[in-house]
Every structure is written in structure tokens, then in C-alpha cells.
């Protein structure tokens, strides 16, 4: 099964057992000084054990002054020992190890103590950053070379030079960023000079048999005077002559809305960048890696079988399920936990320095805890009832089952999935619904499930149960307004489930994620939509990349968005705001959030019978799916 994906490939002297790559995704699992931690070793070892062909260790800083805290570093000899432990762990688990050599330019600003190197003078907030000097250029090139020697000593099988995403090397290459007037700027040949000098230094200081990859953007999106795909192809042909073996074709930059292409959310189509990679591959004749929301084995197989790319990056696919490759190879596709591109734990978690020590995953709370969260068998097997079959309840049920408990799930509806199903009803969100149904099917294969069953106090009183999990979810908040009888009004879930189909002018009250997805549903069906948000911003509960994509969609659909717009009352003409403005509409849709469903009677019944119980997910507080799944995982781990 998936014979093309699991065919071996040899590049110079490196042989890979399959075509699946874990890319160099930032984790923030390194120590403050950049040292490799046991946490990072366990994270990579789990993916190598899971069958990945090549693990590329992430954004490894080559230059100490510009190395941000908690980013992996290979800028000094003291780091070699830690990297050797990491490569040993990957090798011992059947994989190959690469390392991505990186100088992050303005991305170093994540750490206020790190030096920021820029290709040209640049306005950066209240400051003007001065362009890197020629002396500093020579220093950085030497640092790349020294890092390559350390990587060889540490046992890496290949190197990757990060030449994308407006980090320093890409900034030199792109005329949209490089405004220098010396030999490193101006003409295409001059702009190529710095990255080619780095490539030459790397090639000189690594073994002849070791492959050199470059990660490069297919083009510069939304960047005036940026690199075209034709220029990228021209550069890649030259890079090939300088000893580059593999093109890892990415897309995006961190200074425009095109940043959404770096870690593309669910709003961006699967394999959106592969046609670019296929063209670059065809015109350069180089081994090429396809990148961009390739999250199923079937899609990966199709892309390689159709001769579009030679290998595929499957990063977040292996965050969601470290056993992805093994399950696919063995034909157990139905057991794979698929990434849905929510970005809640990977990108948003990476950027949330104040609240999260490192990345996580909405679908896999074990990330960063691979060593300590071993899911050991329970000391005493218990009969556990899980009341509620949303994602929190299903996660708890699965973990409890894996630890040997006897689990029964009770769901009031006819389908498992809860609000996760609702999230998948909006246009372009089919993967979310599919994941909810998939998780439901996986749960039913593991434990006993009773659907269309409402658990009451009497059932608990009579039940043969040792512990109870209350995961009863949430319901839409209802608001009573003056004039409610004068204007048709419905809830967002009714619209998303197509239970009602408003027409004409429709106002959506609430500008959070649910309100935006409701507006998308209505506008895509031909309605003239206005979003009314009482706060001063729309989409405040969205992560930054999803917000870019969703707002672009709203603009394309001509959705009108009004902030600081508190709804006062309804009239036959429409909605009256607090300032007296009338918003004409024939229907109002409430999307003002959700409140926890009441579970206090069930809790009291448990207390009366002296049964330990746990309230989790939206039943505890209506939040994001990442919180619900994490709570389900944690309670399942502790019982």
C-alpha cells in the first residue's frame, strides 16, 4: 500500500527508507542557550520510531549573537554533544537525521536579547535597523561553515540551508528586500552572491557524500518586486552547479499576509504549493520536496506517483500522529489521527511565548511530553462512564481504554463529535468534520458507545460504575432583545447545519470565529451579510494565520464588518444599534458564543453515591478544541 511513498531513495551516499520528511518546524524545546534537551530528543525519536524517513532538526542557529532563546543552536562547539544524542536517538529508531542551518534576520526579534541582522536598512517599529556590514557578512558565512563541521561531527546525514521566508539569505536573494548598492545588491547576480557564498562554504566543509538541501520559496507572494518563480528556477540551476542536491520548495514570508503560506491553516487548499514545486523540478532536473498541507497518505502517494515531486514534507501530519508513517505503511489508515490545519497548537502555540513553553497539537497533547507521558497500564482497572461524546469525552475514553480501563461512552445525539462536527460545517472546513467522524469511529472501535442516550440521575444511582467523566459540552448563548417578535432570528448552529437558510440581507451578531464562519456560509449562499461586533476588533479568538485567511475570505465575499456595534433592539426594518444606527436586514443570526451545559445534578448524584467525577471540556468552560482535548487526555492519563 502506498508503494511510491514507501519506496527508498538514495541521494549521494544517504539512503532513505521512504519519501516522508519531518520538516524543520520550530518547537522551542531547546534550553534557553539553544542546547538540545531530552524533551527534544524524545520528540524526534518518537517520529523516527513512527516510521519517518528523514527528520530535519529545526531552525538551528549558526550565529550566537543572533540566536534567539529556546531555538536550537549549533553555533558553538559546546552544542555538539547534545546534537550527537539527538542523531543517535533518531538512528536507533530507524530514521535518518538532517539539520536546518538558519540565520533568522528579523525573526530573531522573538528574543529581545538577540541581535537582528537585516540585508538593508529597515524600519522596525520605532527603530531603524542598520544593514549588515561586509565584515558581518564574512562572519556569518564563516559561522555557517563552522556549523556544518559541527553537524558532521554530531552525526547528521544531511544538511539543509534555510533560504526562504525572508530570513537573512532569502533577504539577500529577493529584490523586494535587498536594496543594497554594493556587490551584494542590485543585479540578480549580486543578490545571489551571499547565498552562493554560504553554499560554497557549506559544501567545502561537509563530506562529498553528504547531501545538501536548500529550503527555498517558490515565489515571493504579496511582496513588491519580490522573487518570481522564473527567478527562483534560475537561482536553483546555479545552486545545483555549486553542489546543492535537493530543493525543499516552500512559500511565504513573515512580513506580509503571505506568512499564512508558511504554516498554512485549514483555509488554504491541500497541496497548494505542489504545482510550483513540480514546475521547478521539471525545469531544474533536481530532486524536489513537495510542501504545503500534505496531510494524508493518499495525497502523498498521488503526488509522488504522478511524478510531481520526489519526496513530501509531512510535518503537522506527524505532530498529530507520530505513528503516521507506520500506520500508513501497514494499511491502518483508519487509525491515523489526522492534522486538520487548525494551527492552534503548532503555530499559535509556538508564538504564544508567554503562556506555552513549547509547541503542542490540538489532536495530540503528548507533544513535548513523549518521555514522561508513557500511558502506563492502570494499577486498578475501573469501570468508567464518559457522559458526552464530543472531543473531550472521546479523547478521555481512548486514553482510558489504552490504559486498560473498561469504558462506556454515552452521547445524547445520534453521532459522536459534538461541537467539532459543527466546526466542520462551514465552507472549506470539511476536514474538520471528517476528523470528528473519524475520531468517533476510532472511539467506537475501542469502547462501548451508547448514542441517543441521555444519562440522568437515576442511571447514575443504579449504575455499576467506579468513576464518571462529565463531558456534556455547551450550547449557544441566547439573548433576549426588545422587538424579538418583529424580526426573524436564528442561531449560528442552525445556519451552519443548514437547518435554516436565510435569504437576502442578513446580520450576524458576533464577530468571533463562529460568527465569521456563519457569515462565510451565508455569503457563499448568496446573502448580503453584515457582521456586528460589540468589541473593537473582529476575529479576536482566531490565531494570526487563520485570521489572515478568514479576513481575506470575508473581503472576497464582500461581507460588511462593523466593530463597536452593540445591538440594542430589533424592528421590522432590521437591527437598531446602541448609537441609534439601523442595520437593515430580514434575518438576524446570533453568534455570541456558547455556555456550558448544566451538569450539577449529575455531579450531585455522583457525590451522593461517592463516585469520583471529573468535569472537562466545554462542560467546564466553553473554550477552544485544543483545551477540551488536553483536558480529556489529562483525565484519561490520571484515573
- Supply the residues annotated as catalytic: 167
Q: Kindly report the length of the chain.
A: 639
Helix (H, G, I), strand (E, B) or coil at 233: helix
Q: Are strands 14-16 and 9-11 parallel, antiparallel or unpaired?
A: antiparallel
Please choose, from the candidates 94, 102, 12, the residue with its C-alpha nearest in 3D space to the C-alpha of residue 46.
Answer: 94
| Phi (first) and psi of residue 73, to 5 degrees | -130, 145
- CA 57, CA 46: separation in Å to the nearest integer? 13
Show the CA angle centred on residue 577, arms to residues 536 and 485, nearest 5°. Answer: 130
DSSP of 269-330:
PTTTTHHHHHHHHHHH--EEEE-SS--SHHHHHHHHHTTS-SEEE-SHHHHH-TTHHHHHHT
At 489, list the grid cell. Answer: 432570528
- CA 279, CA 277: separation in Å to the nearest integer? 5
- CA 101, CA 72: separation in Å to the nearest integer? 10
- CA 267, CA 260: separation in Å to the nearest integer? 10
CA atoms within 13 A on the CB side of 214: 29
Contact of 287 with 310, CB cutoff 8 Å: yes
Q: Is 366 exposed, middle or buried (0-12, 13-18, 19+ CB in 10 A)?
A: buried
- CA 489, CA 570: separation in Å to the nearest integer? 9
Alpha helices, DSSP H only, in 73-187?
80-92, 134-153, 168-173
- CA 394, CA 411: separation in Å to the nearest integer? 10
DSSP of 406-419:
EEEEE-SSSSTTTH
Q: Is 31 exposed, middle or buried (0-12, 13-18, 19+ CB in 10 A)?
A: middle
The number of helices, as runs of H, and strands, as runs of E, in the chain is 20, 27
- CA 221, CA 497: separation in Å to the nearest integer? 35
CA distances, 277 to each of 8, 229, 284, 450 (Å): 20, 10, 10, 48
At 517, list the grid cell. Answer: 464562519
- CA 165, CA 216: separation in Å to the nearest integer? 8
- CA 318, CA 511: separation in Å to the nearest integer? 33
Please choose, from the candidates 291, 257, 317, the residue with its C-alpha nearest in 3D space to the C-alpha of residue 547.
Answer: 257
Q: What are the residues whose beta carbons fall under 8 Å from the beta carbon of 336, sequence distance 6 or more?
A: 297, 321, 323, 324, 327, 328
Contact of 117 with 103, CB cutoff 8 Å: yes
Amino acid at each position: 500500500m502506498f508503494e511510491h511513498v514507501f519506496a527508498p531513495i538514495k541521494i549521494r551516499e544517504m539512503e532513505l527508507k521512504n519519501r516522508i520528511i519531518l520538516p524543520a518546524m520550530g518547537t522551542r524545546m531547546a534550553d534557553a542557550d539553544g542546547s538540545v534537551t531530552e524533551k527534544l530528543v524524545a520528540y524526534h525519536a518518537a517520529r523516527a520510531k513512527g516510521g519517518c524517513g528523514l527528520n530535519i532538526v529545526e531552525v538551528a542557529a549558526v550565529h550566537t549573537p543572533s540566536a534567539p532563546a529556546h531555538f536550537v543552536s549549533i553555533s558553538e562547539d559546546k552544542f555538539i554533544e547534545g546534537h550527537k544524542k539527538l542523531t543517535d536517538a533518531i538512528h536507533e529508531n530507524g530514521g535518518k537525521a538532517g539539520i536546518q542551518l538558519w540565520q533568522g534576520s528579523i525573526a530573531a526579534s522573538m528574543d529581545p536579547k538577540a541581535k537582528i541582522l537585516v540585508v538593508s536598512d529597515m524600519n522596525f517599529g520605532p527603530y531603524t535597523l542598520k544593514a549588515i556590514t561586509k565584515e558581518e557578512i564574512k562572519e556569518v558565512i564563516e559561522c555557517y561553515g563552522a556549523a556544518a563541521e559541527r553537524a558532521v561531527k554530531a552525526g547528521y546525514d544531511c544538511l539543509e540551508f534555510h533560504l526562504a521566508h525572508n530570513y537573512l539569505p532569502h533577504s539577500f536573494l529577493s529584490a523586494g528586500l535587498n536594496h543594497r548598492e554594493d556587490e551584494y545588491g542590485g543585479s540578480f547576480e549580486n543578490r545571489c552572491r551571499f547565498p552562493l557564498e554560504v553554499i560554497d562554504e557549506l559544501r567545502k566543509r561537509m563530506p562529498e557524500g553528504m547531501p545538501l538541501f536548500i529550503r527555498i520559496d517558490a515565489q515571493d507572494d504579496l511582496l513588491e518586486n519580490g522573487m518570481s518563480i522564473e527567478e527562483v528556477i534560475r537561482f536553483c540551476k546555479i545552486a545545483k552547479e555549486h553542489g546543492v542536491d535537493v530543493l525543499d520548495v516552500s512559500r511565504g514570508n513573515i512580513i506580509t499576509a503571505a506568512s499564512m503560506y508558511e504554516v498554512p491553516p485549514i483555509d488554504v487548499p491541500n497541496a497548494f504549493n505542489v504545482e510550483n514545486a513540480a514546475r521547478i523540478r521539471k525545469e531544474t532536473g533536481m530532486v524536489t520536496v513537495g510542501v504545503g498541507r500534505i496531510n494524508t497518505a493518499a495525497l502523498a502517494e498521488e503526488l509522488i506517483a504522478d511524478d510531481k515531486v520526489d519526496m513530501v514534507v509531512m510535518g503537522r501530519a506527524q505532530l498529530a500522529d507520530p505513528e503516521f508513517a507506520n500506520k500508513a505503511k501497514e494499511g491502518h489508515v483508519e487509525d491515523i489521527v489526522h492534522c486538520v490545519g487548525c494551527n492552534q497548537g503548532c503555530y499559535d502555540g509556538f508564538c504564544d511565548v508567554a503562556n506555552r513553553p513549547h509547541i503542542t497539537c490540538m489532536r495530540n497533547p503528548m507533544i513535548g511530553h513523549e518521555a514522561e507521558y508513557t500511558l502506563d497500564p492502570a494499577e486498578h482497572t475501573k469501570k468508567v462512564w464518559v457522559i458526552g461524546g464530543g472531543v473531550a469525552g472521546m479523547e478521555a475514553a481512548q486514553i482510558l481504554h489504552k490504559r486498560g480501563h473498561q469504558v462506556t461512552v454515552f452521547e445524547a445525539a445520534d453521532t459522536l463529535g459534538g461541537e467539532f462536527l459543527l466546526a466542520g460545517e462551514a465552507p472549506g472546513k470539511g476536514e474538520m468534520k471528517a476528523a470528528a467522524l473519524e475520531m468517533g469511529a476510532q472511539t467506537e472501535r475501542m469502547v462501548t458507545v451508547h448514542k441517543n442516550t441521555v444519562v440522568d440521575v437515576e442511571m447514575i444511582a443504579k449504575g455499576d460504575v467506579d468513576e464518571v467523566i462529565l463531558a456534556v459540552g455547551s450550547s449557544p448563548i441566547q439573548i433576549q432583545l426588545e422587538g424579538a417578535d418583529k424580526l426573524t432570528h436564528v442561531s449560528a448552529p442552525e445556519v451552519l447545519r443548514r437547518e435554516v437558510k436565510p435569504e437576502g440581507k442578513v446580520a450576524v451578531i458576533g464577530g468571533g470565529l463562529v460568527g465569521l464562519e456563519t457569515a462565510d456560509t451565508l455569503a457563499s449562499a448568496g446573502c448580503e451579510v453584515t457582521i456586528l461586533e460589540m468589541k473593537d476588533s473582529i476575529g479576536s479568538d482566531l490565531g494570526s494565520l487563520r485570521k489572515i485567511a478568514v479576513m481575506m475570505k470575508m473581503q472576497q465575499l464582500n461581507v460588511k464588518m462593523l466593530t463597536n456595534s452593540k445591538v440594542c433592539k430589533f424592528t421590522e426594518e432590521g437591527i437598531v444599534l446602541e448609537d441609534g444606527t439601523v442595520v437593515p436586514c430580514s434575518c438576524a443570526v446570533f453568534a455570541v458564543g456558547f455556555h456550558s451545559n448544566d451538569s450539577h445534578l449529575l455531579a450531585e448524584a455522583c457525590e451522593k453515591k461517592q463516585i469520583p467525577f471529573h468535569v472537562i471540556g466545554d462542560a467546564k468552560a466553553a473554550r477552544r478544541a485544543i483545551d477540551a482535548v488536553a483536558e480529556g487526555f489529562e483525565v484519561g492519563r490520571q484515573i
